[in-house]
Amino acid sequence: MDLGVLKDMPRIRDRASAKLAHKEVQCREMLLSAYKEMVCAMSDLVKASLAMRCFSKVSSGSPLVRFTDRQDDLNDLGDGGGAPVHRWVSMLEFENLAKELVEMFVSELQLKRLIVLDLLSINLKEGVDPSLEWSDELYDGEFNEFQSIGLGSGDSFPLPENWKADVLQARRPGHTPSHEVLQVYLTSWLANVNIKTNRIDEIFELVGEEMQIKLR
Protein backbone atom coordinates (compact mmCIF):
# COMPACT_ATOMS: atom_id res chain seq x y z
CA MET A 1 0.00 0.00 0.00
CA ASP A 2 1.52 3.36 -1.07
CA LEU A 3 0.70 5.98 1.57
CA GLY A 4 2.71 8.80 0.01
CA VAL A 5 3.46 11.67 2.41
CA LEU A 6 1.53 9.91 5.19
CA LYS A 7 3.93 6.97 5.36
CA ASP A 8 5.89 8.44 8.31
CA MET A 9 2.84 9.04 10.53
CA PRO A 10 2.78 6.72 13.56
CA ARG A 11 0.86 3.49 12.91
CA ILE A 12 -0.91 5.02 9.88
CA ARG A 13 -0.29 1.89 7.83
CA ASP A 14 -1.76 -0.40 10.49
CA ARG A 15 -4.83 1.79 10.94
CA ALA A 16 -5.44 2.10 7.20
CA SER A 17 -4.99 -1.65 6.72
CA ALA A 18 -7.42 -2.40 9.56
CA LYS A 19 -10.07 -0.11 8.07
CA LEU A 20 -9.63 -1.62 4.61
CA ALA A 21 -9.88 -5.13 6.05
CA HIS A 22 -13.09 -4.20 7.87
CA LYS A 23 -14.51 -2.68 4.69
CA GLU A 24 -13.54 -5.80 2.77
CA VAL A 25 -15.46 -8.01 5.20
CA GLN A 26 -18.53 -5.78 4.95
CA CYS A 27 -18.47 -5.81 1.14
CA ARG A 28 -18.05 -9.59 1.03
CA GLU A 29 -21.03 -10.02 3.36
CA MET A 30 -23.18 -7.67 1.25
CA LEU A 31 -22.19 -9.47 -1.97
CA LEU A 32 -22.95 -12.90 -0.53
CA SER A 33 -26.27 -11.66 0.89
CA ALA A 34 -27.29 -10.31 -2.53
CA TYR A 35 -26.34 -13.62 -4.13
CA LYS A 36 -28.36 -15.60 -1.56
CA GLU A 37 -31.40 -13.44 -2.33
CA MET A 38 -30.94 -14.24 -6.04
CA VAL A 39 -30.82 -17.97 -5.29
CA CYS A 40 -34.03 -17.71 -3.21
CA ALA A 41 -35.77 -15.76 -5.99
CA MET A 42 -34.61 -18.34 -8.53
CA SER A 43 -35.92 -21.11 -6.30
CA ASP A 44 -39.35 -19.46 -6.09
CA LEU A 45 -39.41 -18.99 -9.88
CA VAL A 46 -38.59 -22.64 -10.57
CA LYS A 47 -41.15 -23.89 -8.03
CA ALA A 48 -43.83 -21.66 -9.56
CA SER A 49 -43.02 -22.90 -13.06
CA LEU A 50 -43.43 -26.51 -11.90
CA ALA A 51 -46.70 -25.94 -10.05
CA MET A 52 -49.04 -25.17 -12.94
CA ARG A 53 -50.69 -28.55 -13.33
CA CYS A 54 -53.81 -29.48 -11.40
CA PHE A 55 -54.75 -33.14 -10.95
CA SER A 56 -58.13 -34.67 -10.16
CA LYS A 57 -58.15 -36.06 -6.65
CA VAL A 58 -59.23 -39.67 -6.48
CA SER A 59 -62.17 -40.01 -4.08
CA SER A 60 -64.69 -42.80 -3.68
CA GLY A 61 -68.40 -42.29 -3.10
CA SER A 62 -68.32 -38.50 -3.37
CA PRO A 63 -70.19 -36.53 -6.04
CA LEU A 64 -67.75 -33.62 -5.63
CA VAL A 65 -64.77 -33.24 -7.92
CA ARG A 66 -61.68 -32.26 -5.98
CA PHE A 67 -58.27 -31.24 -7.23
CA THR A 68 -54.70 -31.49 -5.96
CA ASP A 69 -51.15 -30.67 -7.04
CA ARG A 70 -50.20 -34.34 -6.63
CA GLN A 71 -50.74 -36.98 -9.29
CA ASP A 72 -52.89 -39.81 -7.89
CA ASP A 73 -53.84 -41.24 -11.29
CA LEU A 74 -50.95 -41.96 -13.68
CA ASN A 75 -53.30 -41.38 -16.63
CA ASP A 76 -54.10 -37.86 -15.42
CA LEU A 77 -51.58 -35.43 -16.94
CA GLY A 78 -53.01 -32.50 -15.02
CA ASP A 79 -53.49 -30.44 -18.15
CA GLY A 80 -57.24 -30.80 -18.65
CA GLY A 81 -56.70 -33.08 -21.61
CA GLY A 82 -54.76 -30.41 -23.47
CA ALA A 83 -57.72 -28.03 -23.56
CA PRO A 84 -56.99 -24.29 -23.49
CA VAL A 85 -56.64 -23.03 -19.94
CA HIS A 86 -58.15 -19.63 -20.72
CA ARG A 87 -58.92 -19.02 -24.41
CA TRP A 88 -56.25 -20.37 -26.74
CA VAL A 89 -53.14 -21.32 -24.76
CA SER A 90 -52.84 -24.86 -23.38
CA MET A 91 -51.14 -25.84 -20.13
CA LEU A 92 -48.20 -27.27 -22.09
CA GLU A 93 -47.71 -23.95 -23.88
CA PHE A 94 -47.81 -22.07 -20.56
CA GLU A 95 -45.21 -24.48 -19.18
CA ASN A 96 -42.95 -24.01 -22.19
CA LEU A 97 -43.10 -20.23 -21.77
CA ALA A 98 -42.28 -20.61 -18.06
CA LYS A 99 -39.40 -22.95 -18.92
CA GLU A 100 -38.02 -20.37 -21.34
CA LEU A 101 -38.05 -17.73 -18.59
CA VAL A 102 -36.46 -20.10 -16.08
CA GLU A 103 -33.64 -21.00 -18.48
CA MET A 104 -32.80 -17.31 -18.91
CA PHE A 105 -32.57 -16.71 -15.18
CA VAL A 106 -30.67 -19.95 -14.49
CA SER A 107 -28.06 -18.92 -17.07
CA GLU A 108 -27.83 -15.46 -15.48
CA LEU A 109 -27.48 -16.99 -12.01
CA GLN A 110 -24.65 -19.20 -13.23
CA LEU A 111 -22.84 -16.18 -14.67
CA LYS A 112 -23.26 -14.19 -11.47
CA ARG A 113 -22.11 -17.15 -9.41
CA LEU A 114 -18.86 -17.09 -11.40
CA ILE A 115 -18.46 -13.38 -10.66
CA VAL A 116 -19.23 -13.88 -6.95
CA LEU A 117 -16.75 -16.76 -6.85
CA ASP A 118 -13.94 -14.60 -8.21
CA LEU A 119 -14.80 -11.61 -6.03
CA LEU A 120 -14.98 -13.72 -2.86
CA SER A 121 -11.61 -15.23 -3.76
CA ILE A 122 -9.96 -11.80 -3.58
CA ASN A 123 -8.23 -11.31 -0.25
CA LEU A 124 -6.22 -8.20 0.56
CA LYS A 125 -4.23 -9.97 3.24
CA GLU A 126 -0.75 -10.96 2.17
CA GLY A 127 0.08 -14.65 2.21
CA VAL A 128 -3.53 -15.79 1.91
CA ASP A 129 -4.07 -18.12 -1.04
CA PRO A 130 -7.71 -18.11 -2.18
CA SER A 131 -8.95 -21.58 -3.00
CA LEU A 132 -12.60 -21.14 -3.98
CA GLU A 133 -13.62 -23.34 -6.91
CA TRP A 134 -16.90 -23.76 -8.80
CA SER A 135 -17.54 -26.98 -6.86
CA ASP A 136 -17.31 -25.15 -3.51
CA GLU A 137 -20.48 -24.19 -1.66
CA LEU A 138 -20.58 -20.41 -1.25
CA TYR A 139 -22.84 -20.59 1.82
CA ASP A 140 -24.37 -23.33 3.95
CA GLY A 141 -27.32 -24.95 2.21
CA GLU A 142 -26.62 -23.50 -1.26
CA PHE A 143 -26.39 -26.85 -3.04
CA ASN A 144 -29.36 -28.23 -1.08
CA GLU A 145 -31.40 -25.32 -2.43
CA PHE A 146 -30.31 -26.10 -5.99
CA GLN A 147 -30.99 -29.80 -5.55
CA SER A 148 -34.49 -29.19 -4.14
CA ILE A 149 -35.53 -27.43 -7.34
CA GLY A 150 -33.74 -29.79 -9.72
CA LEU A 151 -30.85 -27.48 -10.63
CA GLY A 152 -28.19 -29.52 -8.87
CA SER A 153 -27.26 -33.14 -8.36
CA GLY A 154 -25.60 -34.47 -5.25
CA ASP A 155 -23.35 -31.79 -3.80
CA SER A 156 -22.85 -29.64 -6.89
CA PHE A 157 -24.39 -27.01 -9.15
CA PRO A 158 -23.37 -28.05 -12.69
CA LEU A 159 -21.37 -25.61 -14.78
CA PRO A 160 -22.71 -25.42 -18.37
CA GLU A 161 -20.70 -27.71 -20.67
CA ASN A 162 -20.01 -24.93 -23.19
CA TRP A 163 -18.56 -22.75 -20.41
CA LYS A 164 -16.14 -25.25 -18.86
CA ALA A 165 -13.12 -24.81 -21.12
CA ASP A 166 -13.28 -21.00 -21.06
CA VAL A 167 -13.79 -20.85 -17.29
CA LEU A 168 -10.98 -23.28 -16.49
CA GLN A 169 -8.62 -21.38 -18.78
CA ALA A 170 -9.54 -17.93 -17.44
CA ARG A 171 -9.51 -18.71 -13.71
CA ARG A 172 -6.04 -18.80 -12.18
CA PRO A 173 -5.84 -19.71 -8.47
CA GLY A 174 -4.22 -16.99 -6.40
CA HIS A 175 -4.50 -14.43 -9.20
CA THR A 176 -6.26 -11.16 -8.38
CA PRO A 177 -8.37 -9.79 -11.28
CA SER A 178 -7.09 -6.55 -12.80
CA HIS A 179 -8.95 -3.25 -12.52
CA GLU A 180 -10.20 -3.70 -16.10
CA VAL A 181 -11.53 -7.19 -15.35
CA LEU A 182 -13.33 -5.91 -12.25
CA GLN A 183 -14.98 -3.24 -14.40
CA VAL A 184 -16.19 -5.96 -16.78
CA TYR A 185 -17.55 -7.91 -13.79
CA LEU A 186 -19.48 -4.87 -12.57
CA THR A 187 -20.84 -4.10 -16.05
CA SER A 188 -21.90 -7.73 -16.57
CA TRP A 189 -23.58 -7.80 -13.16
CA LEU A 190 -25.61 -4.66 -13.85
CA ALA A 191 -26.43 -5.48 -17.48
CA ASN A 192 -28.12 -8.87 -16.84
CA VAL A 193 -26.56 -10.06 -20.10
CA ASN A 194 -28.47 -13.37 -20.26
CA ILE A 195 -31.88 -11.80 -19.66
CA LYS A 196 -33.65 -11.06 -22.95
CA THR A 197 -35.93 -8.25 -21.87
CA ASN A 198 -37.68 -7.98 -25.25
CA ARG A 199 -38.58 -11.66 -25.14
CA ILE A 200 -39.82 -11.33 -21.55
CA ASP A 201 -42.05 -8.44 -22.66
CA GLU A 202 -43.42 -10.63 -25.48
CA ILE A 203 -44.20 -13.49 -23.10
CA PHE A 204 -45.84 -11.20 -20.55
CA GLU A 205 -47.92 -9.57 -23.27
CA LEU A 206 -49.06 -12.93 -24.66
CA VAL A 207 -49.95 -14.33 -21.24
CA GLY A 208 -51.57 -11.05 -20.18
CA GLU A 209 -53.82 -11.03 -23.23
CA GLU A 210 -54.69 -14.70 -22.73
CA MET A 211 -55.57 -14.24 -19.05
CA GLN A 212 -56.97 -10.72 -19.56
CA ILE A 213 -54.75 -9.25 -16.86
CA LYS A 214 -51.89 -6.73 -16.85
CA LEU A 215 -48.62 -8.35 -15.78
CA ARG A 216 -46.34 -5.29 -16.00
Q: What is the pLDDT of residue 154?
A: 57
Ramachandran bin of 143, using left for φ above 0, alpha for ψ from -120 to 50, beta for the remaining angles: alpha
Residues 6 or more apart whose CB falls under 8 angstroms from that of 213 comprise none
pLDDT 10s digits, 107-116: 999 899 989 9
Q: What is the mean pLDDT of the chain?
A: 81
Q: What is the pLDDT of residue 34?
A: 94
pLDDT 10s digits, 167-216: 655 566 556 777 888 898 899 999 999 999 999 999 999 988 888 877 77
- Is residue 127 pLDDT above 60, yes or no? no
Q: Give residue limits of the domains in the chain.
A: 9-52+84-211
pLDDT 10s digits, 39-89: 999 999 998 888 888 777 766 677 766 767 777 777 877 777 676 777 788
- Is residue 130 pLDDT above 60, yes or no? no
- Interatomic CA distance for residues 169 and 73, integer angstroms: 50
Tell me the torsion sign for CA atoms 76, 82, 85, 90. Answer: positive
pLDDT 10s digits, 12-25: 777 877 888 888 88
Q: Report the predicted TM-score, pTM, of the whole model to 2 decimal places.
A: 0.77
Banded pLDDT at 100 (limits 50, 70, 90): very high
pLDDT 10s digits, 24-37: 889 999 999 999 99
Per DSSP, 62 falls in state -
